[in-house]
Amino acid sequence: MWSRFLTGNLESAAQEYTGETPGVDDLELLIDVLQTQSVLHNGAIEAGIIDWADTWKRPRFDTELQYYFVLRLALATDVVRAIGDASLNIDLTGPPPALSDHGRFLKWILIDAWHGFCDKCVQTAADGYR
């Protein structure tokens, strides 16, 4: 269920994004972009995700925010697939909530897992370039 739900929303959100894709060909630039996103847009994206978990209306963001929201959805989709096939061997933020607790699971996968995994990966990659 979650894999289909996230994949469908990822595809829709990606189609809505009309801007450029910063840093895709340059890993060092992508790392800088993701660190900047964390500082500038984290609050707005997470407020949209919390509202989505409560109302089931996927947030729509302006162009720059939409890009980072799509990145979160892509990570969440990959994490859910890994959970489903038991290949996730890292502790993101403790065990995931019950899949049936829809609002909590959506917040966990798009907020907690993002901070528990992606932020750490970006910092590790950034440290490797510096």
Other beta carbons within 10 Å of 123: 14
Domains of the chain: which residue ranges? 2-14+27-129
Q: pTM for the whole thing? A: 0.78
Distances (CA, A) of 44 to 33, 36, 65, 87: 17, 14, 8, 31
User: Along the 130 residues of the chain, how does pLDDT read in single tens digits?
Assistant: 788 898 898 899 988 888 776 555 677 777 777 777 778 888 999 999 999 999 999 999 987 888 889 888 988 888 788 776 555 555 566 677 787 888 998 998 899 888 877 666 666 666 766 5
